[in-house]
Structure 1
């Protein structure tokens, strides 16, 4: 018997993550693929680096050669329609240019860049050349960038915002970097709220959220950016995608206490709606 529903249901969208691997499963490629799956998008991946890490920290990074990243991208994009792509940590200009070239030739509808530059500890993860590569090569390619406050400060060479007013004051400089829009994440602010500021060409919109009392914060930035990517692939407009992704992440943080993963900063519960 034929399944006639296959002719009436819209195709499940395809999302791509270009990022590093996290063996603990809470961040990077693994978190992105879990998020895509949890939200209903088919996930594919191009790996930029292998890491040795757990919930307590990173003990080693093995970058994938730029030419093999190019081969991964070319092989995938030759075959699979990509509706939205999320780009994670990129530490070299050569890799940034490989990504830009591939995505310029085979442009998906949405490109989301999570400019991973600063660890939770406050340590800078990429050198000055890597920061310039992200700012000059990848930011202008992106429809949305999602820096937290320390990352925005690094991108701009400016003081880190410490309240809503200083977040708003940073908006013109962030717009000038060339991305279509910016989600400036306010999780580093003090207080019971975690306000994010969505800055577009036309307006600035506060996306509100309560702070969740949990130590399970490993991979939250990766997870939020990939959730936005999935929602965009599914057809949401940008403000709707950001709002729904943030709400979903809040529930994943609330449910994280049900997991028992590692002895440090645990992951969020990506499949809280399913398990």
Structure 2
């Protein structure tokens, strides 16, 4: 690779015509980390900055063809997954990950388990929870919000949710708190051991702390379109740069907070993060 080359993140996500979420958000957030997004479209959507009115999954064979053309040419440094569009697409993505890990066993995969829009609009033709099943065991980092963590685990408390997700193969679980009440948003990271390590522990290899690592962010006024996409893609971009997981999570959350703080309007309703 040349001196001016950027690490590439292979992104699987849907196309949002409003430009606030999906592939548009992923591309911008990955670029914001200094990496480059290779965007594979999994679904076409009919949506604005507030609501999703329709979803048309891309054929799974086409998803594979898009990805194959890219991995034949480019070195993949991380993978980010958003909406799958269908169970068949999830299987296609899993196939790509398995192929790549045959030669890159530690290739990081960030899974944003999008089950519905912020207003509850469905984003998959198939049962979204079941469609994610083949990908959970392949995820390096999974970034569910509170409702997604409950749906994926059938548990109500974050500790139990993380335990259930780890049992399904997820290595790092970052449960975000944007859907909870209060003046602060609390994000909780559960690492790959019995308890989540602190940032220093992950870097130095020292003993685990007894509780998950928590980040607390002042809650911002208003609602935002594509905040989850932004966070997951920023994490993937950081990991593609070779940043340790703890630092990647820290940097990506800081980047996302600033993007939401400086969000702008394109119409009434949810604002667009300034990525």
| Short-chain TM bin | 0.7 to 0.9
Q: Residue in 1 aligned with 2:243?
A: 236
Q: Residue in 1 aligned with 2:159?
A: 168
1:262 aligns with 2:262: no
Q: Quick one: which of 159, 165, 172 aligns to 1:181?
A: 172
What is the Cα deviation at residue 10 of structure 1? 7.3
Q: Residue in 1 aligned with 2:207?
A: none
SS for the counterpart of 2:53 is: strand
Name the CA distance, whole Å, in 2 between partners of 1:192 and 1:64. 40
1:69 aligns with 2:44: no
Q: Quick one: which of 105, 117, 120 aligns to 2:118?
A: 120
User: Per-residue displacement from partner, 1:58-86 (whole Å, max 9, x unpaired)?
Assistant: 12222111111111111111111110010
Name the CA distance, whole Å, in 1 between partners of 2:161 and 2:171. 16
Instruction: Return the TM-score normalized by structure 1.
Output: 0.87
Name the CA distance, whole Å, in 2 between partners of 1:266 and 1:52. 18
What is the Cα deviation at residue 33 of structure 1? 0.2
Query: Where do 5+ consecutive residues of structure 2 fail to align?
Result: 197-211
SS for the counterpart of 2:218 is: coil
User: Per-residue displacement from partner, 1:49-107 (whole Å, max 9, x unpaired)?
Assistant: 11121112112222111111111111111111110010001132211111111111123
SS for the counterpart of 1:15 is: strand
SS for the counterpart of 1:230 is: helix
| CA contact 1:12–1:41 (8 Å) conserved in 2 | yes
Name the CA distance, whole Å, in 2 between partners of 1:128 and 1:60. 13
Map of 1:6-155 to 2, 5 A cutoff?
9=3, 11-107=5-101, 109-126=107-124, 129-135=127-133, 137-155=134-152
Deviates more, 1:247-256 or 1:224-233: 247-256
Name the CA distance, whole Å, in 2 between partners of 1:29 and 1:120. 17
1:195 aligns with 2:192: no
User: Per-residue displacement from partner, 1:82-138 (whole Å, max 9, x unpaired)?
Assistant: 100100011322111111111111235211111100321245544774311202x01
Name the CA distance, whole Å, in 2 between partners of 1:38 and 1:76. 21
Distance 1:58 1:128, change over 3 A: closer
SS for the counterpart of 1:196 is: strand
Name the CA distance, whole Å, in 1 between partners of 2:181 and 2:162. 20
Aligned length: 255
User: Per-residue displacement from partner, 1:164-209 (whole Å, max 9, x unpaired)?
Assistant: xx22233211211111211111222211111111111223232313
Deviates more, 1:77-86 or 1:197-206: 197-206
Name the CA distance, whole Å, in 2 between partners of 1:152 and 1:189. 13
Please, what is the CA RMSD of the aligned residues? 1.9
SS for the counterpart of 2:182 is: coil
SS for the counterpart of 1:236 is: coil
| CA contact 1:212–1:254 (8 Å) conserved in 2 | no
Query: Where do 5+ consecutive residues of structure 1 fail to align?
Result: 1-5, 160-165, 271-275
Distance 1:57 1:19, change over 3 A: same
SS for the counterpart of 1:33 is: helix
